[in-house]
Amino acid sequence: MSSISHDISPMVRKRIITLEEVAARAGVSAGTVSRVLNGKNKENRPAIANRSEHIRRIATKLGYKPNTAARSMSHGRFLAVGFVTCGDTDDDWYPISGLNGIHLAVEELQWRLMFNELPASTIRNPKIVPQLFRESAVDGLIVNLLPVFSEAVEYFEKQSLPFVFLNLKRKTQCVYPDEASGATAAVKFVVATGKKRIGFFSRRFPHSSHYSQLDRYNGVQEALKSAKIETHRHLEPLGQPGDPPMTVIERAEIFLQRFKDLEAVICYEQEEAACLTMAAERRGIRIPEKLQILGFCERDIHGNTGLPIQTVPIPFHAVGTAAIHLLRSMIETGDYRLPSVSVPYATKILTF
Amino acid sequence: MSSISHDISPMVRKRIITLEEVAARAGVSAGTVSRVLNGKNKENRPAIANRSEHIRRIATKLGYKPNTAARSMSHGRFLAVGFVTCGDTDDDWYPISGLNGIHLAVEELQWRLMFNELPASTIRNPKIVPQLFRESAVDGLIVNLLPVFSEAVEYFEKQSLPFVFLNLKRKTQCVYPDEASGATAAVKFVVATGKKRIGFFSRRFPHSSHYSQLDRYNGVQEALKSAKIETHRHLEPLGQPGDPPMTVIERAEIFLQRFKDLEAVICYEQEEAACLTMAAERRGIRIPEKLQILGFCERDIHGNTGLPIQTVPIPFHAVGTAAIHLLRSMIETGDYRLPSVSVPYATKILTF
DNA sequence: TTGTACGCGTTATCAG
DNA sequence: CTGATAACGCGTACAA
């Protein structure tokens, strides 16, 4: 069916090359090779520099690669950290850009990054010891476990590894986006385009389930107040407590009916923005001509689609990088309870 | 701002416990503890069973965890594999469900999973040796590198590790979804709802850049033919070769104008489905009442939003699991060129 | 700067 | 079934 289905050509399996073998070929001892390759010699004198260069060339030619397991043993540390997400099918999510940021910082430190999963059911079952804690393989953990964070924090405290939680707002051991700065950026951007009647739309009424819900909401209201613009164009909770949950589109329809004069809406997330757009077009409100819609999102996912939604990019990449830096401090100082870090939004807003 | 900002309680740092220490406490030798914990003793006689139980209890009490680095050294293999994605900012993507499937299979094997990035720029620059290939840390690689796959294949061949490509269709060393089965499932589903005039919409005209474009398109046409339904309700390439690229929404508008009688549309991906939905609503075509829209997607991302798009779930989870099984065969047989595996779609289609 | 020797924690071998 | 011992590959302290 596809036009691409060539064979992949044969592959040569290489034997593992050790320091010892490089040393033998170079006529020196393994210790010397190790020092040269790790730059622990000053190489002042030209004779030495030449010999060292020779050793490096041989190592390259032979395809020598240090064995990280051996290095870990001798070093007494793994020089590796783990990323932990929940892994529950159809429920797992994490920002890939966040993992990119983590990897970037890990690579700079010459560390390695393990990928781990810890389902909610495992956390809740005290009888199960997950893989992650049955063997020791890393020096610390970056944890992305929003669905069950309160239980998760207790759970990780019982372990002996340092850890950093992502996107959780506590006094210590957390790294999270500063939602107030994001809200401010969003409002400034909208105000700069001349809009006066600005709403906030979210799937739920901001409550305590995740800090970003309340922080974005409050941040928007405060920024509007600073700009002397009317606040609180937002829906209260709808329906009775026991009612079947309303879809986001239904809520969006009510929102648009309630606030007929809106010029712009800042949405809690991209999903709300998409639903609101759909609801608006159905009512004949043309987006973005008649109504400007913004959503907070990991990245600009609408490149070249033409979808009329503007994106406030959440700084997950920077969050990931900062998390590794925090974890590194914990590992190297031995103090596992360092204060949390709040990462500001960039002021730039992506456009379509 | 947030209502949640408690302190995290102090943490006790534990020293590393070795086999030797467990052995000392149990009054046996390290070798014995190792054998007992690894179940290499039959434990026939009750006295032995009791002693073994005692050893296990002590190990648990002391919080003994095998050191994976030491185990790797002794075993001569890392018992770990790497997942490789491109990591380019704003361009990186992989199905999280696929990584879930990989992790599941890795965990069952009691292996570990490393997360690696290999930017296109690194692959193209022969002078750079990336982290991934500067040290040896894994027994094999699962590679997800679509943006540059042709160069990537050559690149990996030069290395000494076994590898499996995801979502690439070649004769060997690949695992990918069987798009024909997915197209058939989609068409069957739509036909079962009584639709007769069925279109196919994609951002680009199906070409060779990725096999799934052509395979989904052909699969749909063949399934339609089997169902004795008119085929080829699809746009040819639009515009001239040098023109600025058209947005997906613009293309969707032309599509709807061209095929006015459609009852259902199967879209190449979820993104096309979203854009088509938007374009349709703008023309007053109510979705899904007047037009049924399906899109292929990693998972049902529209849970509870009310967005009227139906999802054909791509079996990435199964692809990930199959990839690990294939890689395992390579590692254990020493044959790195095993035939590729095509993973069928489930027949179930998610609904909203 | 070099070579030697040892330690890291685990598993495998082998004699008892 | 057990204990002693060697081996895995690397880094490094030590003496030269």
Nearest CA to A95 out of A296, A294, A268, A272 is that of: A296
Distance A324 CA to D11 C1' (A): 26
Is the pLDDT assigned to residue B151 strictly greater than 90?
Answer: no
The pLDDT assigned to A239 comes to 75
Q: What are the chain B neighbours of A211 within 8 Å (beta carbons)?
A: 1-4
Spatial contact of B123 and B68, defined as CB atoms under 8 Å apart? no
The pLDDT assigned to B302 comes to 67
SS3 A225: helix
- Which residue matches tokens 């998390």? A323
Whether B37 sits with its Cβ under 7 A from any strand D atom: the answer reads no
Low-confidence ranges of chain A (pLDDT < 70): 1-14, 208, 301-302, 350-352
Report the range of poorest mean pLDDT among A213-222, A266-275, B38-47, B123-132: B38-47
The pLDDT assigned to B284 comes to 94
Distance A43 CA to C3 C1' (A): 18
- Which residue matches tokens 């990591």? B87
- Whole-angstrom Cα Rg for chain B: 27
More confident residue, B125 or B300: B125
Nearest CA to A331 out of A109, A118, A99 is that of: A109
The pLDDT assigned to B13 comes to 52
Q: Residue B266 phi/psi, 5° resolution?
A: -100, 125
| Residue A262 to residues A230, A256, A309, B13, Cα–Cα distance (Å) | 11, 8, 16, 55
Whether B29 sits with its Cβ under 7 A from any strand D atom: the answer reads yes
CB pair distance less than 8 Å for A2 and B249 = no
Nearest CA to A198 out of A210, A212, A188 is that of: A188
Give me A77's structure tokens. Answer: 């540390």
Interatomic CA distance for residues B211 and A230, integer angstroms? 53
Give percent above pLDDT 70 in chain B: 94
Interatomic CA distance for residues A52 and A36, integer angstroms? 6
Give me A215's structure tokens. Answer: 């922080």
Q: pLDDT, tens digit, for every residue of B171-209?
A: 999 999 999 999 999 999 999 999 999 999 999 887 767
Q: Give the protein-side footprint of strand C (Cβ within 7 Å).
A: A 27-32, 35-36, 41-45, 48, 51-52, 70, 73-74, 76; B 16, 18-20, 30-31, 34, 37-38, 40, 64-67, 70-71, 73-75
- Rounded to the nearest 5 percent, the helix, strand and coil shares of chain B are 40, 15, 45
Distance B294 CA to C2 C1' (A): 71
Give me B135's structure tokens. Answer: 């040290």
Sign of CA dihedral A172, A176, A179, A185: positive
The pLDDT assigned to B52 comes to 94
Cis bond upstream, residue B313 (ω within 30): no
Q: How many interchain CB pairs under 8 A, A with B?
A: 248
The pLDDT assigned to B9 comes to 42
Give me B20's structure tokens. Answer: 């030797």
Compare all CA atoms of chain B with the CA of A17 and give the residue at the minimum distance. B136
Give percent above pLDDT 90 in chain B: 78
Is the pLDDT assigned to residue B301 strictly greater than 90?
Answer: no
Spatial contact of A291 and A265, defined as CB atoms under 8 Å apart? yes
Query: ∠ at Cα B64 (B62, B68), nearest 5°?
Result: 165
From the CB of residue B66, how many other CB atoms can be counted at a distance below 10 Å? 17
- Please tell me which of the candidates B116, B215, B249 has its beta carbon nearest to residue A1: B215
Q: What's the whole-number mean pLDDT along residues B225-254? A: 89
The pLDDT assigned to B280 comes to 97
Q: pLDDT, tens digit, for every residue of A145-198?
A: 877 778 899 999 999 999 999 999 999 999 999 999 999 999 999 999 999 999
Interatomic CA distance for residues B19 and A172, integer angstroms? 34
DSSP states of B38-75 as a string? TT-S---SHHHHHHHHHHHHHHHHHT---BHHHHHHHH
Cis bond upstream, residue A244 (ω within 30): no
- Please tell me which of the candidates A69, A274, A282 has its beta carbon nearest to residue B78: A69
